[in-house]
Amino acid sequence: MESEGDTVQLIPAVDLLDGSAVRLVQGDFDRRTGYGDPVALARRWVDAGARWVHVVDLDAARSGLPVNRWIVRQVVEAVAPVPVQAGGGVRGVEDVEDLLASGVTRVVMGTVAARRPSLALSMAEKFPRQVAVGIDHRHGQVAVEGWAHGASMSVADLLDRFADAPFGAVVVTAIERDGMLSGPDLDGLRAVLRTTALPVVASGGVGSAEHLRALADLEVAGRRLAGAIVGKALVEGVLEVREAMAACEPSE
C-alpha cells in the first residue's frame, strides 16, 4: 500500500453479490441495498480521483466459489492503471494466481488465513507484498466464511501468527460497524497498530469526513494507518471522493 507521506490512502469499496454492487449492514446478507452495475461504480470512484479500488466477492466469501470473478476482471480492466485490491473466496494458491493474472494488484485472504495459517504464510512467501491478510472481527473475535462463523481466536492471536510474514497489508474490518456510518473502531485499530508492523488498512463505520480525519490522526508509536476502505458513505452520497481524500490528510 503506497501512501503519500502520512496521508491515509482512501480506498472506495465495491461489494459484489449476485452480479451487482451492494452494501450489507453488519455483514448481514438479508440486509442489503443494491447499487447497480459494479463496473460503472468502480469507474465512478476512479473518475472522481480515487487511487485504489477495493472489490469483495461476497458470494465467494460465503461459498468459497469464485462466483463473481469475471466481474472482478472487468473492474480491473475498467479502472486500469489504478490498482485494485480484491478478496472474497480466496481459499488456495490457484485463487491467488488467478486474481493476480487478471491484473489485481493485491489479493486479500480472510478465511484461509484463520483456518489454514500455514497455507496463508506460504502464499505470502510465494507472492511477497501481493497478498494481504483480511481480518474481519466482531468485538475483537475473528469471523470467517462471509462473516457467518466465528474462528475461535482473537485479532491479536491471528496477528501473532503472521508477525514476520511478507504480507502487503492487514485489512481489518469491524463487522458490527460495517454499513452503520457510526464511526470506525479506533480503539481496535490502535491495538492492531501496536500488535503488527505490517501496513494496516481500516474498514467499517466511516460515515463522515470527521471519521476519516480521526483515522488520519490515529498514531501509535509513530505508526499510522496505511489506508481506509469506505463504502456506504460514498455510494449513499454522504461523502464525495474528493472530500474524503482531503479528510485523509493528517491534521498535525
Q: Do the Cβ atoms of 52 and 46 come closer than 8 Å?
A: no
Please tell me the distance from the alpha carbon of residue 218 to that of residue 46, in angstroms, as a whole number: 26
Partners of 109 in the β-ladder: 133
Q: Is residue 136 annotated as a catalytic residue, yes or no?
A: yes
Buried b (16+ CB within 10 A) or exposed e, 30-68: eebeebeebbebbbbbbeeebbbbbbbbbbbbbebebbb
Q: Is residue 217 annotated as a catalytic residue, yes or no?
A: no
Please tell me the distance from the alpha carbon of residue 54 to that of residue 41, in angstroms, as a whole number: 11
Catalytic residue among 57, 59, 136, 185: 136
In 3D, which of 122, 242, 97, 238 has the Cα closest to residue 180?
238
Annotated catalytic residues are: 15, 136
